[in-house]
DNA sequence: CGTGAGCGT
């Protein structure tokens, strides 16, 4: 019976294909749960700039980053008690490309003697409490 | 005189 030998032939081809590491290597299953892609954060126009010196103010930071794009906002967190800056701030750019360029260019560089640590800012919005449009109580 | 990792009103 030639049909039987043909089936065994195909079965052998299938088994070899399964055992083939190059064939199995393409069978990777990706689950789209929540892979903590810390290395690829979604780039925003907002940059988190840390590693700042305690003598750095917003205008110095803006002047340092205004060379890479249009800085729309520069915010440095200051300590209300000691009055000294916490050494980290946020730089808002007009475009994500500018922010990415500035990050790639200024990250690791030094400003006022201290190396800068730049990363994309988390969209942490505070305030702006959800105001519920209340209908006239009548 | 030193301080230092980090995510904000």
Q: Where are the beta strands (DSSP E) in chain A?
A: 46-50, 71-78, 85-93, 110-111, 114-115, 117-120
- Indicate whether A22 belongs to any domain: yes
Contacts of strand B, CB cut-off 7 Å?
A: A 46, 48, 50-54, 73, 75, 77, 86-88, 90, 92, 114, 117, 119-127
* pLDDT score recorded for residue A123: 81
CATH code (residue A54): 3.30.70.330
Domain that holds residue A79: 2-28+42-120
d(CA A120, CA A47): 5
d(CA A41, CA A38): 6
Q: Which residue is nearest to nucleotide B3 (CA to C1')?
A: A54
- Indicate whether A128 belongs to any domain: no
- Indicate whether A37 belongs to any domain: no
DSSP, res A134: P
- Indicate whether A36 belongs to any domain: no
- Indicate whether A130 belongs to any domain: no
pLDDT digits (tens, 9 = 90+) for A47-82: 999 999 999 999 999 999 999 999 999 999 999 888
* pLDDT score recorded for residue A82: 87
d(CA A122, CA A105): 20
Nucleotide nearest to A53 (CA to C1'): B4
Domain count, chain A: 1
- Which of chain B's bases lie under 7 Å from a protein CB? 3-9
Q: What is the mean pLDDT of residues A107-121?
A: 94
Please give the helix or strand (H or E) that residue A98 lies within, else none.
helix A96-106
d(CA A27, CA A15): 15
User: Does the pLDDT value for residue A90 go beyond 80?
Assistant: yes
Q: Which residue has the higher pLDDT, A86 or A14?
A: A86
């Amino acid at each position: 019976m030639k049909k039987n030998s043909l089936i065994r032939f195909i079965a052998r081809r299938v088994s070899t294909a399964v055992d083939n590491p190059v064939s199995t290597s393409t069978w990777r299953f990706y689950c789209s749960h929540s892979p903590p892609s810390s290395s690829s954060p979604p780039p925003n126009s907002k940059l988190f700039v840390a590693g700042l010196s305690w003598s750095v103010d917003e205008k110095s930071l803006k002047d340092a980053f205004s060379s890479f794009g249009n800085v729309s906002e520069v915010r440095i967190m200051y300590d209300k008690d000691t009055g000294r800056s916490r050494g980290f701030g946020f730089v808002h750019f007009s475009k994500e490309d500018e922010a990415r360029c500035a990050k790639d260019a200024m990250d690791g560089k030094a400003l006022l003697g201290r190396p800068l640590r730049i990363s994309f800012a988390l969209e942490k919005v505070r305030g702006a409490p959800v105001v519920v449009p209340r209908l006239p109580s009548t």
